[in-house]
């Protein structure tokens, strides 16, 4: 017993010392907490390990790992009992007294160093105080591997850390390894996206990170996200107890968590599917339907509907060509079932694209098939060309009035619109406007007044009655939209002076959480961007390099070793990505784009 504790002492000194200091408290912390005393806020402490930390020649068959604590505990998350290298089946466990015993359904490999990580897995039985974590290292051979690698995994678009990603190392350098076999070493990322692959072999690896939805320690491209390093990597750091990267910190301890050094930075993305086929189809109205494809950029040679003249069919792809809208431009009643035929390039059983004609049956939705029993059941969209108008006060100068009809138009009356405005003295003026049809959505139009829009003015756009007719043969109702620019003296603005712009870039203003885009610009030369009407708060500036100049943030392709398009956030001098904007402030920031992306 004394020998075991002596070996254990260098690995868990804090646990033993605190366990001794608070022995009397721990003894009271059994399955029934003492009444009337202070609430237990201290997490459990390890008092004994078997095998001890760093033990060699551990038996491969019927291996049992025992972690004994100073109080009764429960396993909150069995998936967080993580063995590296992972086996086909996840570790099993049972509780025995104050111990957690971990065992396996298959034998361990010979002459191999293993780590069992129990971070986020164990809590005390009474108050649920989480054990901060521990990594038990042992070997089935005569030596312990001694190298380590650290890094962070983050979302490719927001650069936010990703918790629970599985970081994997492969000695097999084939591209297929991550799809077909389990890694030679692996670990999960913590709340900060940080990982430490410890006690690994001194050799060359390929490195991946997978958000492993089914916990099979392989990459399933149809459902999972991935990150990868462009180059091979070899660990350069030797494991030492003094290194903070090996410690298990409280995730709320920002200072220590951010101070950990990292060797690599990995950007996680979801690949676009490569297998092409029609995965969904629906008829959503009398004259409208859609089909969706598994992969983007579907190649359609021809499309027809039985009994419908080709000149009566209107189609529209979305931007990435994985969804196709279909309309029949004929106001007369349509059959209960459309027989749609699509000749397109479909992936065959060998994984090759071949021309294929697919028959799709599209049944009329029940609400469209059912007859109207009374006038009270008739809705506006049943008799009217419905449209909506978006005109946000904060962005109308940039975006204009955005008009979108539910169905394509066969007659339009944009020249009959009336645009007028009232100045602060309530004097009325009329002004001209321009109309532009959206290049990607034939039902959407942008109307821009030909006058400078000013705070304190009221602007009105009126649509007269029966000037627009859609494919159903319905005309529009009259409508008027009113909008005023923000006129709050407390609002602020940011001006970005962008220089050294040698490519196309997407510039976004995001909120503090980086989950909402407030305003977007696309640039391809040196310019100054104004972000007006900003409320006091914290914001981020995200800049994405649009190398193929398609206006999209393109994802990566693993087998082509193509990373997602580069994203950078503007950082202040202290390294933070958040700009704190007070009230009534006009900020000006200069950004060297070339320097940011070099």
> What is the DSSP code (8-state) at residue 343?
E
Q: In this structure, are 470 and 546 located in the same domain?
A: no
Q: Who's near 590: CB < 8 A, 6+ residues apart?
A: 496, 497, 499
Buried b (16+ CB within 10 A) or exposed e, 537-557: eebbbbbbbbeeeeeebbbbe
Q: In this structure, are 452 and 544 located in the same domain?
A: no
Domain that holds residue 13: 2-139
Report how far residue 536's alpha carbon sits from residue 250's, in angstroms, rounded to the nearest whole number: 32
Q: In Å, what is the CA distance from 502 to each residue of 498, 555, 592?
A: 11, 21, 11
pLDDT at 21: 37
pLDDT at 415: 96
pLDDT at 210: 98
Give the global pTM. Answer: 0.80
Among 291, 249, 302, 295, smallest CA distance to 271 is for: 295
Q: In this structure, are 7 and 123 located in the same domain?
A: yes
Residue 1 pLDDT level (bands cut at 50, 70, 90): very low
Q: In Å, what is the CA distance from 263 to each residue of 169, 266, 431?
A: 14, 10, 60
pLDDT at 37: 60
Select from 139, 161, 183 the last residue of a domain.
Answer: 139
Q: In this structure, are 431 and 517 located in the same domain?
A: no
For CA atoms 109, 110, 112, 115, the dihedral sign is: positive
Number of domains in the chain: 5
Average pLDDT over residues 144-160: 96
Residue 307 pLDDT level (bands cut at 50, 70, 90): very high
Average pLDDT over residues 455-466: 95
CA atoms within 13 A on the CB side of 248: 18
Q: In this structure, are 360 and 401 located in the same domain?
A: no
Give tens-digit pLDDT for 54-63: 999 999 999 9
Average pLDDT over residues 514-531: 94
Q: State whether residue 4 is helix, strand or coil.
A: helix
CATH of residue 239's domain is 2.60.40.10
Report how far residue 41's alpha carbon sits from residue 483's, in angstroms, rounded to the nearest whole number: 55
CATH of residue 310's domain is 2.60.40.1220
Q: In this structure, are 133 and 155 located in the same domain?
A: no
Give tens-digit pLDDT for 533-551: 999 999 999 999 998 888 8
- Give the number of residues written for the chain: 598
Residue 4 pLDDT level (bands cut at 50, 70, 90): very low
Select from 215, 242, 268 the last residue of a domain.
Answer: 268
21 occurs within a structural domain = yes
Give tens-digit pLDDT for 473-497: 999 999 999 999 998 889 999 999 9
- The 8 Å CB, 24+ separation contacts for 420-427 are 420/459, 420/460, 420/462, 421/449, 421/451, 421/457, 421/458, 421/459, 421/460, 422/457, 422/458, 422/460, 423/456, 423/457, 424/456, 424/457
Sheet with 288-293, strands from edge to edge, namely 278-283, 288-293, 323-328, 313-317
pLDDT at 204: 98
523 occurs within a structural domain = yes
Q: In this structure, are 102 and 158 located in the same domain?
A: no
Residue 36 has pLDDT above 70, yes or no: no
Q: In this structure, are 199 and 155 located in the same domain?
A: yes
Give tens-digit pLDDT for 276-301: 999 999 999 999 999 999 999 999 99
Q: Give the 3-state secondary structure percentages of the chain, helix then strand then coil, rounded to 5.
A: 10, 40, 50
């Amino acid at each position: 017993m004394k020998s075991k504790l002596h070996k254990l002492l260098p690995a868990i000194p804090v646990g033993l010392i605190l366990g001794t200091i608070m022995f009397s408290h721990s003894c009271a912390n059994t399955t029934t907490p003492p009444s009337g005393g202070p609430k237990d806020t201290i997490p459990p402490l390890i008092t004994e390990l078997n095998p001890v930390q760093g033990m060699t020649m551990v038996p491969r068959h019927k291996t049992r790992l025992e972690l004994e604590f100073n109080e009764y505990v429960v396993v909150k998350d069995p998936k967080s009992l993580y063995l590296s290298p992972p086996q086909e089946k996840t570790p099993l466990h049972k509780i025995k007294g104050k111990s957690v015993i971990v065992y396996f359904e298959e034998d361990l490999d010979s002459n191999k160093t293993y780590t069992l990580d129990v971070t986020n897995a164990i809590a005390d039985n009474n108050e649920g105080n989480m054990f901060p974590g521990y990594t038990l290292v042992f070997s089935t051979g005569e030596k312990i591997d001694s190298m380590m690698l650290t890094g962070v995994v983050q979302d490719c678009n927001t650069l936010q850390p990703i918790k629970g990603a599985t970081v994997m190392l492969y000695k097999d350098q084939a591209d297929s390894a991550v799809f077909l076999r389990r890694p030679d070493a692996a670990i999960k990322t913590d709340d900060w996206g940080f990982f430490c692959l410890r006690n690994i072999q001194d050799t060359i690896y390929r490195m991946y990170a997978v958000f492993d939805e089914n916990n099979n320690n392989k990459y399933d491209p149809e459902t999972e996200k991935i990150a990868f390093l462009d180059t091979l990597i070899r660990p350069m750091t030797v494991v030492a107890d003094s290194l903070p990267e090996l410690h298990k910190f409280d995730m709320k301890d920002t200072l220590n968590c951010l101070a950990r050094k990292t060797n690599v930075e990995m950007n996680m993305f979801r690949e676009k599917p490569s297998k092409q086929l029609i995965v969904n189809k629906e008829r959503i109205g009398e004259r409208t339907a859609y089909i969706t494809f598994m992969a983007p950029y579907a190649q359609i040679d021809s499309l027809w509907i039985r009994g419908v003249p080709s000149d009566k069919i209107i189609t529209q792809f979305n931007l990435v060509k994985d969804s196709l809208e279909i309309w029949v431009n004929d106001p007369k009643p349509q059959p209960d079932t459309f027989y749609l035929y699509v000749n397109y390039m479909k992936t065959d059983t060998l994984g090759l694209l071949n021309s294929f004609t697919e028959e799709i049956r599209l049944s009329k939705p029940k609400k469209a098939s059912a007859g109207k029993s009374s006038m009270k059941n008739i809705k506006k969209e049943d008799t009217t060309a419905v449209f909506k108008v978006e005109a946000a006060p904060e962005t109308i100068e940039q975006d204009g009035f955005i008009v979108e009809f539910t169905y394509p138009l066969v007659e339009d009356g944009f020249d009959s619109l009336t645009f007028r405005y009232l100045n602060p003295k309530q004097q009325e003026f009329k002004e001209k406007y321009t109309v532009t049809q959206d290049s990607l959505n034939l039902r959407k139009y942008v109307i821009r007044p030909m006058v400078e829009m000013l705070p304190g003015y009221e602007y009105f756009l009126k649509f007269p009655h029966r000037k627009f007719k859609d494919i159903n043969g319905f005309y529009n109702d009259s409508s008027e939209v009113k909008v005023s620019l923000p006129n709050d003296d407390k609002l602020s603005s940011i001006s970005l002076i962008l220089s050294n712009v040698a490519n196309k870039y997407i510039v976004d203003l995001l909120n503090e959480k980086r989950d909402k885009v407030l305003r977007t610009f696309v640039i391809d030369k040196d310019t100054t961007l104004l972000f007006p009407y900003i409320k006091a708060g914290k914001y981020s500036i995200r800049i994405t390099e649009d190398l193929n100049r398609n206006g999209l943030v393109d994802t990566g392709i693993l087998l082509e070793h193509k990373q997602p398009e580069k994203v950078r956030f503007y950082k202040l001098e202290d390294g933070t990505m958040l700009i704190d904007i007070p009230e009534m402030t006009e900020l000006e920031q200069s950004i060297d784009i070339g320097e940011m992306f070099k």
